[in-house]
């Protein structure tokens, strides 16, 4: 079976996508226009699902820098009749060079750990030039690997240490990593007078797609105008790696 087909049929990945779609439809409704930015690769399963729901009310845009993947994705977009504009570009280059392009849903589905390039993209987005607040506050989802980069972030270490004061030590450590990262992202937003309010946080490992797959984080935020202190209480947090049944309960 090809890697693309495995990716599309992975039950766990489908659950993650469906959680995003459920949040989008609950937040915006299904009868309002949606303009969505993604990093589709050559799967386009998420984009196709949105099109099935929103039809002509959705506009899709994204980037892909790899020529082979770009060509495959372009062919799929044409064959499926998706209302999508795909640029052969890097994510960071797109945000730094594009003006007056507005989105009310952005999914930065990265395949790597957090680094300065992703931070640069987030900073460009949070200047406000790319966010649409017309009917509802925009949504922003970010997927990154649970990589070693986070182990060197001082603020994240402090968040973990603070949560380790509770009795359930191992659970607190996991939660510390899960909520510490969006706390850092909210600091980036606050610097631009926006706030990121987590809607849910998930850690998962898609071993069906790749037995050597590393755990991933996915954060879904509502973007608010104004600076708000990050509040880690009452955030739905699921560690799919540790508790598959909890993941199902969110589905």
What integer best gives the mean pLDDT of the chain?
80
3-250 placed in CATH 3.40.30.10:
no
For the chain, the structural domain boundaries read 3-250
Portion of the chain with pLDDT greater than 90, in percent: 43
Going from the C-alpha of 13 to that of each of 205, 209, 215, the distances in angstroms are 9, 9, 12
Q: Is the pLDDT of residue 154 over 80?
A: no
Across the range 156-185, mean pLDDT stands at 54
Query: pLDDT tens digits for 8-57?
Result: 456 777 888 899 999 999 999 999 999 999 999 988 999 999 999 999 99
Q: In what order do the strands lie in the sheet with 84-87?
A: 84-87, 58-63, 34-38, 105-109, 139-145, 216-225, 194-204, 237-239
Give the range among 128-132, 137-141, 204-208 with minimum mean pLDDT: 204-208
pTM flag (> 0.75) = yes
Which tokens hold the place of 91? Answer: 């994510």
Give the range among 50-59, 109-118, 125-134 with minimum mean pLDDT: 109-118
């Amino acid at each position: 079976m090809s890697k693309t087909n495995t990716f599309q049929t992975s039950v766990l990945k489908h659950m993650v996508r469906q959680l995003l779609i459920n949040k989008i439809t609950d937040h915006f409704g299904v009868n309002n226009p949606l303009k969505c930015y993604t990093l589709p690769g050559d799967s386009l399963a998420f984009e196709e699902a949105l099109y099935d729901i929103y039809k002509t009310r959705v506009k899709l845009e994204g980037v892909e820098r790899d020529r082979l993947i770009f060509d495959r994705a372009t062919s799929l977009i044409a064959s499926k009749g998706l209302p999508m504009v795909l640029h052969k570009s890097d994510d960071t280059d797109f945000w730094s060079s594009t003006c007056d392009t507005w989105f009310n849903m952005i999914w930065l589905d990265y395949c790597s750990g957090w680094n300065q390039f992703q931070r640069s993209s987030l900073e460009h987005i949070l200047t406000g030039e790319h966010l649409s607040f017309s009917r509802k506050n925009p949504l922003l989802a970010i997927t990154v690997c649970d990589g070693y980069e986070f182990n060197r972030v001082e603020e994240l270490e402090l968040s973990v240490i603070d949560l380790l004061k509770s009795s359930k030590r191992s659970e607190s450590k996991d939660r510390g990593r899960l909520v510490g990262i969006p706390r850092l992202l909210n600091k980036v937003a606050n610097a631009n007078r926006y706030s990121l309010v987590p809607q849910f946080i998930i850690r998962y490992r898609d071993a069906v797609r790749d037995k050597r797959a590393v755990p991933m984080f996915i954060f879904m935020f509502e973007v608010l105008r104004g600076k708000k202190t990050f509040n880690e209480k009452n955030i739905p947090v699921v560690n799919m790696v540790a508790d598959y049944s909890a993941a199902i309960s969110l589905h």
